[in-house]
């Protein structure tokens, strides 16, 4: 298996549902022991944990709010203490603020930037001492970084755009340690947060070249590519997995 992750340890933030859960399952299926973080739903986290353990791998679910730096640090250290190391860090936790820029509150601004940018920085800073040669850092961005099709996305697009600059800088900082850093920008993906049959879905589909939503497995497959041996010479890069949303 080209991308076997046997013996590897992965942490996926926001891994109890949607894209994060799909990535957690995909990495476990490739042989990794996988930890996830969740905010509120322990039951959903337990479902993902059961799927991870059904592959014969070890799993761990840690309650942590990515808006709180202390929670992020605690989660990373808990994973490292449990498994002895961290090989793969997937920064997936996210929210979707939407609305006119003039209505954005300072609290909403701070929480969005804390989850989408600061939490990634803190997680990387905390995880790197537990990573070695071959470490992988993967962040989940958004197609709205490069194409904003209408009003109401300013805060979200700005917060996700921060990941591109952070990824490029970290690639330079961590390359000498043998650690790669990349970001995936999903397009419309069928999840609870953005269902393919939901309100506004037809408009979203029309913005893609392929005319339909993607699946969480589309994103998970790219994450596996970057996490495995096939990703060893890829760093500082951004990958659009968006059905041609930004074409």
Alpha carbon distance 245, 29 (integer Å): 29
Q: How many domains does the chain have?
A: 1
Q: Is residue 3 part of a domain?
A: no
**Structural domain contains residue 4:** no
Residue 51 lies in a domain: yes
- Indicate if the pLDDT at residue 193 is higher than 90: no
Round to whole Å and give the CA distance between 54 and 135. Answer: 25
Residue 246 falls within a domain, yes or no? no
Query: DSSP per residue over 25-93, as a string?
Result: HHHHHTT-EEEEEESS-HHHHHHHHHHHHHTT--EEEEE--TTSHHHHHHHHHHHHHHHS--SEEEE--
Residue at token pair 């799993």: 59
Give all strands (DSSP E) within 94-194, no chain letters. 136-140, 180-186
Q: Print the domain residue range for 94.
A: 9-240
Q: Is the pLDDT of residue 227 over 90?
A: yes
CATH value at residue 94: 3.40.50.720
- Which two tokens mark 135? 């470490």
pLDDT tens digits for range 215-226? 999 999 999 999
107 in a structural domain: yes
Is 234 part of any domain? Answer: yes
Section 152-165 average pLDDT: 97
Within a 10 A sphere around the Cβ of 154, how many other Cβ atoms? 17
Mean pLDDT of the chain: 96
**Residues with catalytic function:** 156
| Tens of pLDDT, residues 47-83 | 999 999 999 999 999 999 999 999 999 999 999 999 9
C-alpha 221/C-alpha 201 separation (Å) is 23
Q: Is the pLDDT of residue 1 over 80?
A: no
172 found inside a domain: yes
What confidence tens digit (pLDDT) does each residue in 78-113 have? Answer: 999 999 999 999 999 999 999 999 999 999 999 999
Residue 155 domain flag: yes
């Amino acid at each position: 298996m080209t991308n076997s992750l046997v013996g590897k340890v992965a942490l996926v933030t926001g891994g109890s549902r949607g894209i994060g859960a799909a990535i957690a399952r995909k990495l476990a299926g490739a042989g990794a022991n996988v930890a996830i973080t969740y905010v509120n739903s322990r039951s959903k986290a337990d479902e993902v944990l059961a799927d991870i353990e059904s592959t014969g791998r070890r799993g761990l679910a840690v309650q942590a709010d990515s808006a709180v730096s202390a929670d992020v640090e605690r989660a990373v250290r808990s994973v490292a203490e449990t498994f002895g190391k961290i090989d793969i860090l997937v920064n997936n936790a996210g929210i979707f603020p939407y609305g006119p820029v003039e209505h954005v509150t300072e609290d909403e601004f701070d929480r969005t930037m804390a989850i989408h940018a600061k939490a990634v920085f803190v997680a990387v800073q905390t995880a790197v001492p537990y990573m070695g040669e071959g470490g992988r850092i993967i962040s989940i961005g958004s197609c709205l970084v490069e194409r904003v099709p209408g009003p109401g996305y300013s805060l979200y697009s700005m917060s996700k755009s921060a990941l591109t600059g952070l990824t490029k800088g970290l690639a330079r900082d961590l390359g000498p340690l043998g650690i790669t850093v990349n970001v995936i920008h999903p397009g419309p993906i069928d999840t609870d947060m953005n269902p393919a049959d939901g309100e506004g879905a037809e408009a979203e589909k029309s913005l893609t070249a392929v005319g339909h939503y993607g699946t969480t497995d589309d994103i998970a497959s790219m994450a596996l590519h970057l996490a495995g041996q096939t990703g060893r010479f890829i760093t500082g890069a951004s990958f659009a997995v968006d059905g041609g949303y930004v074409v």
